[in-house]
Amino acid sequence: MRYYFVLPALLFLFACGNADKPAETADTGKHTTKDSMKDALADMPPPSEAKQFEWFYSLFVKGMMTDSIFQKFIHPENGVYMIESNGAMPQMKNVTDISDFTTAQGKPFFTISRDDLICELKDEELPKVDCDSKDFYSKSGCFTREENTFKEEKTWQYCHLTPDEEKKVTKMAAGITRVVINTKNYRYYFSLINGSWYISFIDMRKPCQA
């Protein structure tokens, strides 16, 4: 089992925790940082399990405050597709460097309120669109499910993509493992690639708005 996506975070956490402590040598017989990392990895469930995804998602949310951190969650070859709508039809844009992305309104991606990002992620049935409710969903909050609603919806078929682009999107859509709906902002689609989680699609459209 691979845990590539957790290693950088663990290195950072253990480095911070030991920053003010004197260095330990091999003869001390004490538990080293490397030993602590091994113990932490041994106790972790497989990456596909909900509990570990929730842990990853908390890091992902924190990364949304800084483009250099968020960049680590984008697959270097696939990129991430940002979905917007400037009118009735959806538009898709492939982004490999998040710092270069601007919305259809010319704004950077990192404009979401921190309060709207942080919420308890619930592994339960996803909310349905409800145009009569405050958040335009049947329930409010952050929800995740191990399913592929994006593949079923086939949004890309309405985006006037080139044949090559549509082929790439179709392949990426088939690899989605989990969806997250935050009713205060976006829908996020994640793929588990070689043991690491990556963000593949972000649907920035608001429901019930043409």
Confidence of residue 192 (pLDDT cuts 50, 70, 90): very high
Give pTM, 2 decimals.
Answer: 0.78
Residue 31 has pLDDT above 90, yes or no: no
Per-residue b/e over 125-138, b at no fewer than 16 CB within 10 Å? ebbeeeeebebbbe
Confidence of residue 26 (pLDDT cuts 50, 70, 90): very low
Q: What is the pLDDT of residue 107?
A: 86
For residues 35 and 103, the model is more confident at 103
Mean pLDDT of the 148-166 span? 94
CA-CA distance, 63 to 47, in Å (whole number)? 19
CB 47 within 8 A of CB 3: yes
Q: What is the pLDDT of residue 193?
A: 94
Mean pLDDT of the 27-42 span? 51
The string of pLDDT tens digits covering residues 42-89 is 455 555 577 889 999 999 998 888 888 999 999 999 999 999 987 778
Residue 166 has pLDDT above 80, yes or no: yes
Mean pLDDT of the 139-147 span? 95
Residue 163 has pLDDT above 50, yes or no: yes
Mean pLDDT of the 32-40 span? 51
Of the ranges 7-16, 62-71, 156-165, the best mean pLDDT one: 156-165
Q: What is the pLDDT of residue 48?
A: 54
The string of pLDDT tens digits covering residues 81-124 is 999 987 778 999 999 999 999 988 888 888 888 788 888 999 99
Residue 177 has pLDDT above 60, yes or no: yes
